[in-house]
A and B are shown apart, each in its own frame.
Chain A
Amino acid sequence: MNRSPVALLVLTLAPALLGLAIFRAYPIGLALYESLYTTIAGERTFVGLENYVGLLTDSGFWKSLRVTLWFNLIINPLQVALALALALMFVQKLPGMAVFRLMFLIPIGISLPVAVIIWRIVLLPEGFLNGALGAIGLGPYRFLTSPDFALYSIIAIATWKGISYWMIFLVGGLQNIPQEINEAARLEGASAWQRLWLVTLPLLRPTLLFVLVADITINFLLFAPVFMLTGGGPRGSTNVLMYEAYKSGFVFGDMGRAMAIVVCLVAMLLVIVAIQFRLLSSAPAREGK
């Protein structure tokens, strides 16, 4: 029996690679391909880069890009920081922690559309939150219909839904850090703050990198709350690129433009993720040298 390790390798990797090809590579390839076509007077026509050139002078696209970047600039650091804080609390051995853990796991069990519907009821002008604020003499605020509030309401909902999920990864990472290292640092006289900055966070770096990358990807592609709550408004303040692409493709039937937007979005994500990999993986490598 001559068993080649290559054959085994191919065999065992095949399901994963097949999945990657069908669910990742194929749609991206399709989007790229479709972005080079457009429909003019009923005829599907190859237009090369015209869809992309069109985006350059398309104020709707640029406005939407600004909203997307601003949204991500706020939501990603916020979500990761909160998830980290929760994870640090999660691993403490304090009384009543079981209840706390249960509470923060609930959002994971609720599907996003359901969560959005519940939050809509909370945030409506005559909703629960305004009722509560009214009781102490504030409001009513138009959380979802005021250009000053809407984006932040979406951020709040997405954060509420997201942080406990990311917290679980960080808890796993924290529990992987050997107790002895912390113990040793404590005996050396390091304060809790120093232990966090100098011991825990550097050792948590691989997990943090994963969470940051995955979180940014998800938030760049966030769609459901915008679709269900604000429809991109008011004043385009929540019109993120995913929604702009959706509208272009499925409401206006302009698939070429929609695909060009999606490709731009993927390209942007690739750049951001590449930068993150460099920033977060360089430090430990230097230590190793």
Chain B
Amino acid sequence: MTRLPLLTTALAIGLTATAHAETTLTVLMIEGLDKGSMEAVADAYMAKHADVTVEIQSLPWNQFFQVSEMRLKSADAAVDLIYTDAPVVAAYAANGYILPFDAAVADEAKQKLVASSVATGTYDGKLYSLPMNSSAQVLYYNVDLLKAAGVTPPNGLTKDSVTKPDAIVKLATEDRWTFEQVAEAAKAVSGSEGGKGKPWGFAFEQFGELYQLQPLGGSLGGELISADAMTADGYLNGDAWTKAAGWWSDLFNKDNVSPRSLGFGEAAQMFTNGQLAMFVGGTWNVPAVADSSINFGIAPHPKFAEGKASTPTGSWYLSVTKASPDAAAAADFAKFAALSDEGTDVWFKTLNQLPVTNRLLDQINSDPAYDAFPASVMRLSAWESRNTAAPRPVTVAFSQLQDAFRTAFTDIANGVPVDEALDTAVDAYDQAAKRLNRK
């Protein structure tokens, strides 16, 4: 009878001992390559901090937001750091899920990182999330399909090409195709019977998504919502977005050059199969496309003829949860991962995604290793991220905005009139904004 209490006591002592001997930090993030890179960063951190263990927990992409929302909402102390998608930073901050970094970290971030990335991590004047990397979108084109249709392909980065920094600037400022050119070329490729016998002309990688399509209105100077984030009226249904959405509508309803409702990864797959002549997609597609037998090139993201260049940006951030019992240690790890030379080097080398530190961006611009294709795509992306990148709007009702936007652009592709679809989206956003901003 005496054994059991003894055993439990021993166990309890053992547990407390381990808990005090070192700090364990848990990072909750998405599965995949990002996880491997975070593990590499964690290893580098632990090598310097013997008393800290960093554990990486991961969830599949399609469950990540729902599960992390539930865990944050229930103030789960087992999560110290949360991998945060750019647009949800504001909602997490407003809901009190994450802690702001102190002023010293914020100053360091402003000094070391690209301004648009820091802006997205900032809510109510405080830096809540540190950006890990950014993203960029480019125009992929199939040289053979365009030539066969009698179209001269755009100037771009192609296999075996060597592109110096000043040539990147020329490409991005002088040779950028317009959306009008893209539509004309797409018509030439697919005729009027797109998808039947002939290849499709053009597609966006992420069908109807706000991240992907924000440059359409952005190129014409259109904002999605007001500066105080209270309304989308006069913005999402304003002149710029109405014109942009009309161009989008014509792709499907008039010219029939673009497939409806592409699933995740389908555009790249169709492109590498030769079923699609052009698509705007993330630079993460480069390895898969380069592996295929397609004779392809990469051009800067298109803009409207009378508009300015505007490109998608923003990727993942790292935030410290409010429920973390070791918030100071967690903040120190976040600082190491996102701001230190060592942490950002490990992250960039293992993941090879567009960085957000000025140091690495400068390096990409000057290092001759980025002259050759396809590394030169990273140099183009780096230029875009500093010159044309337009971050997604910061609003606590971002989920609602994203959903309303997706619904509107899916509906438009399915033949719903532009005005009606955009007005419906504005209504949905305004009601959500009113509800979520009441005090």
* Contact in complex: A145, B260 (CB < 8 Å): yes
Question: Considering the chains assembled together, what is the distance between the CA atoms of A231 and B400 in angstroms?
Answer: 14
Chain A contact residue count (CB 8 A cutoff): 27
B260 proximity list for chain A (CB < 8 A): 125, 145
Which residue of chain B has the shortest Cβ distance to A230 in the bound complex? Answer: B410
CA distance A42 to B124 in the complex (A): 15
B198 at the interface (CB under 8 A from A): no
* Contacting residue for A60 out of B69, B96, B411, B431, CB 8 A: B431
| In the assembled complex, A23 has its CB within 8 A of some CB on chain B | no
Assess the B96–A43 pair: CB atoms within 8 A: yes
Write the nearest CB–CB distance from B63 to chain A, whole angstroms. 12
The verdict on A39 contacting chain B, using a C-beta distance below 8 Å, is yes
Q: Determine which of B73, B399, B416 lies in contact with A252 in the assembled complex, contact meaning CB atoms within 8 Å.
A: B399
Proximity bits, B399-439, A CB within 8 Å = 1, else 0: 11001000100110011100011001001100110011011
- Contact pick for B403, options A43, A145, A251, CB 8 Å: A251
CB of A233 within 8 A of CB of B97, answer no
Q: Which residues of A contact B (CB under 8 A)?
A: 39-43, 54, 58-60, 125, 142, 145-147, 231-236, 247, 250-254, 257
Quick one: given A40-B438, A60-B427, A254-B435, are A234 and B96 in contact (CB under 8 Å)? Answer: no
B424 near A236: Cβ-Cβ < 8 Å: yes
A234 engages B410 (CB within 8 Å):
yes
Q: Is the CB of A58 within 8 A of B431?
A: yes
B2 interface hit (Cβ, 8 Å)? no
Scan residues 378-413 of chain B and give those whose CB is less than 8 A from a CB of chain A.
399-400, 403, 407, 410-411
Interface contact A233-B415, CB-CB below 8 Å: no
Judged by a CB distance under 8 angstroms, whether B94 is at the interface is yes
Known: A41-B439, A251-B66, A252-B403. 19 other contacts (CB 8 A): A40-B439, A42-B97, A60-B431, A147-B414, A147-B415, A231-B407, A232-B407, A233-B411, A234-B410, A234-B411, A235-B424, A250-B66, A251-B399, A252-B400, A253-B73, A253-B91, A254-B435, A254-B436, A257-B435
User: CB-CB < 8 A to B91: which residues of A?
Assistant: 253
The interface bits of chain B over 94-106 (1 if a CB of A lies within 8 angstroms of the residue's CB, else 0) are 1111000000000
Cα A142 to Cα B261 in complex, Å, equals 12
User: Which one of B95, B400, B407, B432 contacts A233 once the chains associate, using CB atoms below 8 Å?
Assistant: B407
CA distance A14 to B95 in the complex (A): 43
* CB closest chain-A residue, reference B95: A42
CB < 8 Å neighbour of A235 from B69, B96, B97, B416: B416
The interface residues of chain A lying within 8 Å CB-to-CB of B399 are 251-253
Main secondary structure of the interface of B (DSSP, over half): helix
Binding site of A, secondary structure by majority: helix, strand, loop or mixed?
loop
Number of A-B contacts (CB under 8 A): 65
Q: Please, could you name 17 A-B residue pairs with CB atoms under 8 Å apart, sorted by A?
A: A42-B97, A54-B435, A58-B431, A60-B427, A145-B261, A147-B411, A147-B414, A231-B407, A233-B407, A234-B410, A235-B414, A235-B416, A236-B424, A247-B403, A251-B66, A252-B400, A253-B91
Residues of B within 8 A of A145 (CB): 260-261, 414
Chain B residues whose C-beta falls within 8 Å of the C-beta of A54 in the assembled complex? 435
- Whether A253 contacts B411 by the Cβ 8 Å rule is no
**B-chain residues with CB within 8 Å of residue A125 when the two chains form the complex:** 260
Cα-based distance from A231 to B410 in the complex (angstroms): 11
With the chains together, A247 CA to B411 CA distance in Å? 18
Contact, CB under 8 Å: A59 / B427: yes
The smallest C-beta distance from A28 to any residue of chain B, in angstroms, reads: 22
Across-interface contacts of B431 in A (CB, < 8 A): 58-60
- Report the minimal beta-carbon distance from B111 to chain A, rounded to whole angstroms: 30
Q: Is the CB of A233 within 8 A of B410?
A: yes
CA A60 to CA B261, docked complex, whole Å: 24
Q: A41-B96, A145-B261, A251-B399 are in contact. Are A60 and B410 (CB under 8 A)?
A: no
A257 to B400, CA, bound (A): 14
A251 to B97, CA, bound (A): 16
Query: Which chain A residues lie closer than 8 Å to B261 at the CB level?
Result: 145
A253 and B407 in contact, given A40-B438, A43-B96, A60-B428 (Cβ under 8 angstroms): no
- For the complex, give the distance between the alpha carbons of A39 and B438 in Å: 10
Residues of the A chain whose Cβ atoms lie less than 8 Å from the Cβ of B94: 41-42
A245 CB to closest chain B CB (Å) equals 14
Complex Cα–Cα for A231 and B193 (A): 28
Bound complex: CA of A146 vs CA of B413, how far in Å?
Answer: 10
Provide the residues of chain B in CB contact with A58, threshold 8 Å: 431
Known: A41-B95, A42-B94, A250-B66. A234 touches B416 (CB 8 A): yes
The CA-CA distance from A92 to B399 in the complex, in Å, is 56
